[in-house]
Structures are given as C-alpha cells and as structure tokens.
Structure 1
C-alpha cells in the first residue's frame, strides 16, 4: 500500500505580535485551509493539534481546543507535543490515521502566542532534559547556543560573519515577497553587521524572533483526494521522518579527534539532523538531488548553513560555499527557505513545521507568486525539537 497522502488544503494566520490567544490564530488558519481544500468543517473526520505548553491547559489539549472552537461535530481529536517538531509530529500522526483507515480527511493545526524576548524552558522542572540543564546550570540561552555553534563553524570550516549575514539577506529578500511573513523588508549585509551583538559572533539580525502565528493543513487519503479533485495535480506527502538520535552525545568532528560510540557519533555515522533527513529520503525513495527546494529551521543564520550539509545539499564543511554561489537563493539551483524562513517569520513553535509544508505545497502547486521555484517537483522541510524530536517531511507533485 502506498504511504502517500494528499495535501488538499493549506492555510495560515500571518505571523506577528498580535496579542491574541493562540486559538484565534489556529482557527483562522484552519478555516483558510478548509476553504483552500474546498471542504466544509463537517467533512473532517479527525483533528490533530500541535500543542503549545505556553497556552496552559487549552494548549496541552490543542486538538480538542481547536475542535471546540470550530464547533463540536464528532471528529476524533489528538494533541501532539514535540516542541519545535510538534507540527511535523502532528502531520505524521494525521498521515498514520489516514493510512490506517481511521479517517478520510484530517485537519492538522498548530498555533502559538509567544512571549516577548527569548524563550525560557516551559513545562516545569526537567532535570533529565539536557536542554533544561543547559538553561539552568550553564545559563546558556538559545542565542548563546547559536553563538557557540557559529563559532564552531568558523573554527572548523572557515565560515565568516559575512557568510552568516548573507543568509539573512537571502531570507529577508524572500520574506519580503510573502504576505504571511512578519518581517517583509529586505535588509543589507551592512544592516546585519550594524545590528547589536547578541551572542558573539551573531548579531540581532542573525537570530530569529519569537512570534504569534498559526498554520493548518487538510490531509486526505489518495482515493478520497482523487474523487474530490479529479482534475487537479495533487501535492502528496511521500515521507515524514520523526526519528530520534542514535547516539547519546556528539563531539567536535575535528579530524584529529578519535571518536567512539560511547562518547559520541562514530566516524562514518550520521549526526542527529543528518539522520532525520536520511530517514525521510529513504522512506520517500528520493535523494538530495531530487529536491527542487528546501525549508529549513533557521533559528540562526549559522544553523541554516549546517542544514545545507545535514540535508545533503552540500558536502560537510561546504555549506557556506553553496551559499556563496547563490545556489540557495531564489532563482538558484536549490532554493532554501523560499518562504523567508524563521528569519522573516520568527518562531511560533507548534505552527512552524506545518508552515514549512504550507510553503512546499504552494511551491509544488505553482502558487508561490514572485517566490515561485520554476517547475518544482519535490521539496523537503526539516527541523528538530527539544529532547531528541526529529522532523522532516518530503512532499512531491
């Protein structure tokens, strides 16, 4: 049996700082996705909500929260929490329900109303969680972690602050063309360099903001989709990867450091992010060379360069060189973050992996306007969540 499911509808609430409850953003996105699919709310057999612990009890039970806001009609509900990977985990859950024959049509929704400033650990005490420990014992906020990662790339691969700045320039140019983006203004490398230092070498414009926003997808089995839209080219989800790490720790991959399986990733094995992508490619029966575009989790400009390598778009250490050739820009060989990425949106945590698939859907349908990748045939979206949550989705036309 084919593992494909169809994307019949994609909808979003624009990102920003709107000051409303997260439910309002999710309902707006859901209604837009249903309209895009040409379906009514009563046609939905299941709702999978990507949870947000910052939303209190309604956030923990996001599936039921959205179902009630749309109007009780008997649909199944599921709530999924996986931090930044929540949206992809929700997509994976919806896909499994469809393939299991539990529902013909599933609505996937994620939304967030984010606090001002950088994120703090949410959800209570978690002394077994390395990310919680990073915050509490080291005082290493996300920007501090991003800065250390940037320094690591500079030391290992020769990346420069100018390379990081050009990631922002590239993504801001795409975001300026996206009506859902929070920041719709192009920036120059000089403006990035002039912004305040947050975590050396990264500056304010190298790091994504926190945002409010929502995204939704209407997914369906292939038989239902063909009956519902017999003449339309269908976007299909070919793979959803939610793998966990294979090894407990990682170490610097300097050539003169011996690595063993007890201390880190053995030589020749894949890092966590690379394994997320590989699992998706393997399930889809495709590879990096088959992709027309990619949406990646650019929490910082330096992390986007790392994703190029983890997705197999560039060899290890050559992410910055791929950027310098403009291959990842609009009009390039393999455009990355045609939506504008988190650089243009900011983080609305449960929604962002869903929003990535919304962008893939519009690109594969040829509906991305001035951001359109010509003849897009396949794309991959990737990010990761706290505590070893993986997230990658491959979509094809």
Structure 2
C-alpha cells in the first residue's frame, strides 16, 4: 500500500513556546494539546486515542506520558500509549498514532510530547548504566555531546575542507528564521561575528554553534482521511511516510555501533552510507517521493556542522557539498529549498520528546500557508529528520 492509501490527515497542530519556564512538563503538554484540539475543531471527548512521547527525566509520570496527558485532560475512555525512543520519541509516537488509524483502531489520535529539560548538556540518568550507549560514551571516551559534535565538525574540516566560518553561517540562517517564529526560545538575529565571538565549547565549535536544552511541548491531532472528509476538510495536510528504520551492521571493519548518540558508524571512507542517509531513503521510498519533490526540510541541528551533514544525507546535494549549498543561499528562507524555516534547534533548543512533533507542526503550518514571515512560497511537500539513541530512525514526510 503506497501513496494516498497510507495517508493520515493532520487536523490540528499546537505548541507551547520553548524556553526555560520552571514549570512541569504536563503543564506544557496541556497547552500544546489544547491548541492542537482547537486547531482541529474537535473537543477532547472526540479523541479515540492518546499517544504520549515519553521523557525519562520526569519520573514515573514521564515514563507513562500517554496516561499522564490523558488524565490531565480528563479521563474519557480513550486508549493510551506511551513511546520512548530518545530524540526520535516524537516520530515514533506519530508512527504509533498512524498505525492505529490505518488499522482502524481509532479515527482520531492526539499525539503529545513535552519536556522540562535540565540545564546544560544531557547526561545519562539513573546512575551507572553500562548497557547505556551514552553512559559508555561518557565513561570510555570522555565525550559529552558537545565533544562528540566537535569530532564530527573536525571530520568535515579534514575530509571536505569545511571551515568554522561556514558552520557559523548555519547559525546565522537559523537565527534569522527563528526571529520570526513566536514559539522559538531565541528570537534575535545573529551575525557571523557574534558566533566567532562566543566562547569555545569544544573546538572548533563555539557556544552559538551548539543548541541549548529547553522546556517546550508540541502536539498533533491525526485522523483517518475519511474522518477528515466528514469534518469538512477535503484537502488536509497528509502524513505520507514515517521512517523508523535501524542501522545495518557490519559495514566496514571500523564500525563502532552504539558508542555515539546517533549510533552512526565511524569510517575512513569519505562518503559512507550513513544511518542518517538510510533514514531518509526509507522515508522517500515509502512516500514515493524524492529530494527533488521537496519544498522544505526540518532537520536535527544539534550543531551547526551537523545540519550540513543532513543536507547530504537527505540527498539535497552530494557528499561534501553541504557548505556549498548553504553558501549559495539554497537553504535559506527564499532559497530553492529552505532548511529549518522554523529556526531549528538553534532557535528552540532541545525538548527531547517534543522536537520531532514540533518539526511536523512546522511542516503543517508551512503546507497550509500559515507560517507568516517565515512562509515558504508554494510549499507542497516537506521532510523532517532526526534520530534517537540506540539506532532509532526518525523522518516524516508530509504533503498537501
């Protein structure tokens, strides 16, 4: 089954602004959920299922997010599901909702992700965990997330000749888009000079090259296409594909699975077939679309250099050509294929269970033509991409 037979409708999208608000994740989730319900024109009792993206840092309520959100909205008999896949949790929650709809288990599903993130980089939780890849990376390599991002940046500099000045241009681009997004945490334009003047965190990356951690929430109301038509929405935004693939090993003798946040392999091959590329390829195949069909992309810019990796893995350009694509202006607002018109994590920061859902919210508003100053003209198809620990793929393609 391909194309329209596998589509589900996005009836509503809602968010809580990102920031550091000092409140609980449930409060943020309720703001996003109620906004998504209002956008869909539905009351809470009309929802047949709730899928919550989990957050392991918020105790037991975070571990059972689906039920936590359903209780906060008021018990009304909806089925509940809770999904954890680290940074891919939101996409896995969307996929779970889509599966329930296509299986005929529910006509309407509310998907919610929310987080109250700690200050600083994310560290493994729960004490000593020798089966946790992040814990191992920290203990064996001494590589916190910024150090890991810096290693990828150094690789790009060594293999492709990228420069810190080019990395800084990613931040400049995303900050300009985020300045026009009312949900973004950082809404101030940034110059390349600002990036260069910010403190070095892990050479060659500076403070403004790396995303923050944030509080925030996002929610979607998904439905069957038949339900959307009955609601008088003849041409809704549709989710055409969700990629949740895992890596393939071994690829070379130098593979190092599960020691990196993205579970990608380290290789001396300058053009490896990365896990990120596999995530995108699976989404394109399921959707029956290719990079040439896209109007925009929302990608996981944990660091400025990592965004350039996504350009290549999404097939927007060839290996090593990400910086060239950026410098040509192709990925800026008004360019041939804007990337992160929301402002990306550079403008939002990480709210882990919410971020993949927030990406689909942005696609929804763009495809509806409701993105305001950051609107991509004539948007008809968009892709999201991020990835989660332990080999969780995450990519969503939406069309209109």
TM-score by length of 2: 0.94
- Shift of residue 143, structure 1, vs aligned partner: 0.2
Residues 266-317 of structure 1: CA deviation (Å, up to 9, x unaligned): 9997310000000000000000000000000000000000000000001001
- Tell me if structure 1 keeps the 8 A contact 2:8–2:239: yes
Q: Which residue of 2 aligns with 1:36?
A: 39
Q: Which residue of 1 aligns with 2:323?
A: 320
1:228 to 219, 226, 231: 231
Q: Which residue of 2 aligns with 1:256?
A: none
Instruction: Output the aligned Cα RMSD.
Output: 1.8
Cα 1:250–1:159 shift into 2, 3 Å: farther
1:85 aligns with 2:70: no
Q: Distance in 2 between matches of 1:271 and 1:329?
A: 25
Paired residues in the alignment total 388
TM-score by length of 1: 0.95
5+ residue gaps, structure 2: 256-264
1:181 aligns with 2:173: no
Q: Distance in 1 between matches of 2:212 and 2:321?
A: 27
- Shift of residue 250, structure 1, vs aligned partner: 6.8
Q: Distance in 1 between matches of 2:7 and 2:268?
A: 32
1:52 aligns with 2:61: no
Task: Give 1:126-205 correspondences, 5 Å limit.
Answer: 126-205=129-208
1:382 aligns with 2:379: no
1:13 aligns with 2:16: yes
Residues 71-130 of structure 1: CA deviation (Å, up to 9, x unaligned): 000000000000000000000000000000000000000000000111101245432333
5+ residue gaps, structure 1: 254-261
- Tell me if structure 2 keeps the 8 A contact 1:112–1:212: yes
Q: Which residue of 1 aligns with 2:358?
A: 355
- Tell me if structure 1 keeps the 8 A contact 2:8–2:223: yes
Cα 1:376–1:250 shift into 2, 3 Å: farther
Q: Distance in 2 between matches of 1:211 and 1:359?
A: 18
Q: Which residue of 2 aligns with 1:258?
A: none
The 3-state SS of whatever aligns with 2:193 is helix
- Tell me if structure 2 keeps the 8 A contact 1:249–1:263: no
1:245 aligns with 2:247: yes
Residues 15-34 of structure 1: CA deviation (Å, up to 9, x unaligned): 00001010000110000000
1:106 aligns with 2:109: yes
Q: Which residue of 1 aligns with 2:260?
A: none
- Tell me if structure 1 keeps the 8 A contact 2:254–2:266: no
Q: Distance in 2 between matches of 1:145 and 1:186?
A: 27
Q: Distance in 2 between matches of 1:265 and 1:61?
A: 42
The 3-state SS of whatever aligns with 1:387 is coil
The 3-state SS of whatever aligns with 2:390 is helix
- Tell me if structure 1 keeps the 8 A contact 2:51–2:96: yes
Q: Distance in 2 between matches of 1:265 and 1:60?
A: 39
1:215 aligns with 2:218: yes
Residues 165-189 of structure 1: CA deviation (Å, up to 9, x unaligned): 0000000000000000000000000
Q: Distance in 2 between matches of 1:44 and 1:146?
A: 40
Residues 188-222 of structure 1: CA deviation (Å, up to 9, x unaligned): 00000000000000000000000000000000000
The 3-state SS of whatever aligns with 2:113 is strand
- Shift of residue 135, structure 1, vs aligned partner: 1.1
